[in-house]
Chains A and B, each alone.
Chain A
Amino acid sequence: MTPLQASPVTAEFFAGTARGELLVRRCADCGRHLAPRCVSCEVCGGTDLAWTAASGAGRVVSWTVLPDRAGGPPVVAGIVELAEGPWLNVRFVDVVPEAMTGGLAVEVRFVRPEGGEAVPVFAPAEQTLG
């Protein structure tokens, strides 16, 4: 995975991933949870957006499988809908392409490529009660 550098707009988000937290935005005016990149609320237009930790649970909305030209394992990546509502573009790990399905329950993990920030990836959710 390509190591990432934080920039001013992503610094808070990556400070969260360093602590093992997946931060999303939450609109102070209407309570809507928003993707990290949002700068105004999709519902009410509010700009008072606080950072809040998501549960890390989500479901697969869509995915693609990218063959590795060097012959290594393919990359599986796509869109996750977090339990709180926002969508994220993410890498899937510990999955086989054939087992991917729409709505598959997944949960966040964090990987830290050498020299870069911690990055959220998603793996199939552990079987848990409830």
Chain B
Amino acid sequence: MGGFAGARAPVIAGLGITELGNVYGRTSADFAADAVRRAVADAGLALGDVDGLLTNTGLAADLTLGLARDMGLRDLRLLSEVQAFGSSAGAMVQYASMAVASGMADVVACVFADAPLREPGAGSAGAYAGTGRRLTQGWRALDVAAGLLGANPLYALAARRHMLAYGTTSEQLGAIAVAQRAWAAGNPRARFREPITLADHQASRMIADPYRLLDCCLVSNGGVAVLVTSADRAADLAQPPVHVLGGAQAHPGYPASSDSTFGLVSGASQAGPAALKAAGVTLGDIDVVELYDCYTFTVLLTLEDYGFCAKGEGGPFAATPGVLGPDGSLKLNTGGGQLSSYYMWGMTPLSEAVIQVRGQGGERQCERHELALVSGNGGILDHHSTLVLGASPRERSITGSGS
């Protein structure tokens, strides 16, 4: 998806981020409405200008199409729920971009919201921790019996396989956690801003070996929305336009057999190159990289699959001094990501990319921010989306073949 040019080339013109984290007493739909209103205001538009809405609910699963009615949106030309888990944010921007480019809609709001956290005392991450228990029938029951409840142990199996194949270590995963925490120090929205060391990572309690606590994302309540409109429309709006230059998805459909590349290669290996090609740019052109980070390992695997290092070299690459972190050569997860800042599925890397491309990152702003590469990942490495965003339209992408 790409090769857009001219008046109807898609642009992210608005970003709305609600209060995030331990915010109680609001449903996902409440957060979503708040996020859309904020995105509309951010763009300098009115709610009545929105003529398309795509929603993506988190695991609290209380955000639906009904949001349009609840917000009083009238005569929409595009309305749908999207669900590909952590890859949904990128996917929504892709669908919205194609709708805008084709003239199907002019201003499409894409919103994610979730409210899994309960009031204090009710236990943290209730909706996430309980997902296995609700599904004890059918084949999922065998995973429950095995003890493979929820995402932590299943992603641990992916990391272990990579370790067995390539010698990846816990310390190398820790380097990613340490670097992202250093970035989080510069993000006022970050939940955790105190620096950590590799020793802190190694001392954090084991969650699902090889994952320690500091390998795992946090959980947040809140909502994030972006508005996609045309370059023509965006030219007069309030924010610097963020051009959607290219995008792609990949859903590998791992077989349950020795042919499976689970843990070794993800859909990023297909979606990344496809998105770059669609945008008419190369990896070397990218200034800012925002990768989905449900776990440290997800970042490591995506770095390999996107081609920042050779397959199997993600561990040594991440642990090489001078590569990651605010002073490093690779500007990666500059807001602290889901490991340190906020867990809004694919909206976490997407929102930070929009902030960086606009140049609004404050003390964490990257000096070079012309082009950003954004990933989304969902399921157990089952779903991947990639976006290439730019501060300028890339006229030379006109001749590139959109895919």
Residues of chain A touching chain B, judged by Cβ–Cβ distance below 8 Å, are: 1-2, 4-5, 7, 9-10, 34-38, 42, 61-67, 75, 77-79, 81, 85-91, 97, 102, 113, 119
Contact = CB atoms under 8 A, between A and B. Distances in A.
B384 to A, nearest CB: 20
B143 interface: yes
B148 A63 contact: no
B157 A63 contact: yes
B145 A62 contact: no
A13 B258 CA distance: 22
A87 B160 contact: no
Size bracket, chain B contacts? 20 to 34
Interface centre among B139, B208, B209, B257 (most CB of A within 10 A): B257
B199 interface: no
The secondary-structure label for the interface of chain B is mixed
Contacts of B143: 89
B144 interface: yes
B206 interface: yes
B122 interface: no
B255 A42 contact: yes
A37 B256 contact: yes
B257 A66 contact: no
Given A4-B136, A42-B255, A66-B209, A78 B142 contact: no
Contacts of A77: 146-148, 153
Given A38-B256, A42-B259, A64 B142 contact: no
A77 B208 CA distance: 10
Interface of B: 136-139, 141-148, 153, 156-158, 160-161, 164, 205-210, 255-260, 263
B142 A89 contact: yes
Contacts of B208: 64-66
Contacts, number: 99
19 contacts: A2-B144, A4-B136, A5-B141, A35-B257, A37-B139, A62-B157, A62-B160, A62-B164, A64-B148, A64-B153, A65-B208, A66-B147, A66-B209, A67-B206, A77-B147, A77-B148, A78-B157, A88-B142, A90-B142
B164 A65 contact: no
B256 A62 contact: no
B206 A65 contact: yes
Interface centre among A2, A75, A113 (most CB of B within 10 A): A2
Nearest to A76: B147
A47 B166 CA distance: 36
A78 B137 CA distance: 20
A64 B157 contact: yes
Contact of A81 (B141, B144, B157, B257): B257
Nearest to A37: B139
B256 A34 contact: yes
Contacts of A102: 161, 164
Contact of B156 (A2, A4, A10, A64): A64
Contacts of A34: 256-257
A16 to B, nearest CB: 13
B156 A87 contact: no
Given A35-B256, A86-B256, A91-B146, A64 B141 contact: no
Nearest to B156: A64
Given A75-B147, A78-B157, A78-B160, 12 more contacts: A1-B147, A2-B136, A5-B137, A5-B141, A34-B257, A42-B255, A62-B157, A62-B158, A66-B147, A66-B153, A77-B153, A88-B256
Contacts of A78: 157, 160
A9 B137 CA distance: 9
B160 A4 contact: no
Contact of B257 (A9, A36, A87, A91): A87
Contacts of B255: 42
A120 B113 CA distance: 39
A62 B144 CA distance: 17
Nearest to B205: A67
A82 B395 CA distance: 53
Nearest to B211: A64
Contact of A85 (B142, B160, B258): B258
A113 B145 CA distance: 9
